[in-house]
Amino acid sequence: MKLMNSFFLVFTFLICSLAQAQEIKKEFKVNAGGQLDVDSDAGGSISITGWEKSSISVEISHDYNVNEIDFNFKETANGLVITSRRNGNRNYHNGNLKFVIKVPSKLDLELKTSGGTLNISKVAGDLDGRTSGGSINLNELSGDINCKTSGGNISLKSVDGEGDLSTSGGNINIFGLKGEFDFSTSGGNISISDAEFNGDARTSGGNIKVTGTKGKMDLATSGGNISMSKSEIEGDVRTSGGNISISSAPNGGSFVTSGGNISISKAGKFIVVKTSGGNISVKELDGGVEAKTSGGNINIIMTGDPKVGDRNAELASSGGSITLLVPEGMDMDIDIELEITRRANKNYKIISDFPITKNNDGGTGERTITGVGKTGSGKNKIKLRTVNGDIYLKKA
């Protein structure tokens, strides 16, 4: 019995020894401006940091058994290639594989892992990163950057350059970005702050929040809200299922939602605002507007010098009131139409602070009331349309 117990203890010790933590440490000479390739078929996280040495330091840790995984290091004329491959049956534990690598601060990177996080910081050079099941974290980078993950978040901080980044199942967080970039996620939110770049940001299932950002970009979500504050964005803003809230759009733009309200605090030049199911509010507009809603109210206040710029306004609602306030002294060609249907629950009216000629203003029942007029040269076309709602044209 004692002999069997002793044999069992020795056997257990041998098995545990085979599976205990393994470490590999290597260092390779490489010139700045070269390239590092890491292709980990065995998965694992890859962490890379730039340093001021002309060498690549590699530390690998894992708890695979010694016969379960192979590593290969190949020095090339241009740099270093590292590969990892698992042997035999792939249905065992994940091995807690980690690559911790230090590289010259100027180096191109091509990284691929079948299941882990990518962490890259303080490197200038082109980056191509792919992971099938982890997050991507980028910090203090510059260059042509293209990264993709099938199941994690993407985070960028103090990145300068251009590129394309996408995730199939996570959030995207951007801080201090400069350059030209496109971002997309199929299942998460997008947050952009203190950035200055041109490009697109798109999500199929989340919200988009932009703060303190400048640039030409299109923002789009198929299932969430879009909010923008302390930013100067020129481009299209579109959601198929949420609200749009904009604090400032001095360069104008297009703002469209298929199912929510649109609120803009301050805008300039020319804006297009459309919703299929909500209200539209613009508190300060120094410019022109096209605004349409299929089921809500429209409230717009024009500001600024009425003699400067184009101030055409075309407002239409299929079921709500319209209120347009304009600066006194603005030259207008006024064209107003109010349709009252048999389903109307009150006697809707056209109310104007400016002289207009009305037709069908009196009476009851189903009818169309019109109002036309002209102030000054009539330079700015003012066209207001609604069904079963009051129309107000007032002095701001």
pLDDT at position 17 over 60: no
Burial of 334 per CB tally in 10 Å (0-12, 13-18, 19+) = buried
DSSP 70: E
Average pLDDT, the chain: 91
Query: pTM for the full model?
Result: 0.88
pLDDT at position 11 over 80: no
Say if CB 216 and CB 197 are below 8 A apart.
Answer: no
pLDDT at position 241 over 50: yes
pLDDT of residue 203: 95
Out of 54-68, 178-192, 343-357, give the one with best mean pLDDT: 178-192
**DSSP result, 149-198:** ESSS-EEEEEEEEEEEEEESSS-EEEES-EEEEEEEESSS-EEEES-EEE
Q: Which amino acid is at 97?
A: L
pLDDT of residue 214: 94
- 259's CB contacts (< 8 A; 6+ apart) are 239, 240, 241, 242, 275, 276, 277, 278
Give the mean model confidence (pLDDT) for residues 76-102: 84
Pairwise CA distance, residues 302 & 282, whole Å: 8
pLDDT at position 52 over 50: yes
pLDDT of residue 9: 40
pLDDT at position 6 over 80: no
Here the tokens at position 190 are 């997008």
pLDDT at position 127 over 70: yes
pLDDT of residue 15: 43
Give the mean model confidence (pLDDT) for residues 313-332: 96
* Pairing of the two strands 350-352 and 391-395: parallel
Question: What's the number of CA atoms in the CB half-sphere (13 Å) around residue 211?
Answer: 7
Domain boundaries, the chain: 243-396
Say if CB 368 and CB 313 are below 8 A apart.
Answer: no
pLDDT at position 16 over 70: no
Pairwise CA distance, residues 236 & 199, whole Å: 11
pLDDT of residue 10: 38
pLDDT of residue 89: 60
Of 198, 235, 193, 242, nearest in space to 221 by CA: 242
Give the mean model confidence (pLDDT) for residues 179-190: 95
Give the mean model confidence (pLDDT) for residues 33-47: 95
- 58's CB contacts (< 8 A; 6+ apart) are 24, 25, 26, 27, 28, 73, 82, 99, 100, 101
pLDDT of residue 91: 52
User: pLDDT per residue over 143-174, tens digit each?
Assistant: 999 999 998 999 999 999 999 999 998 999 99
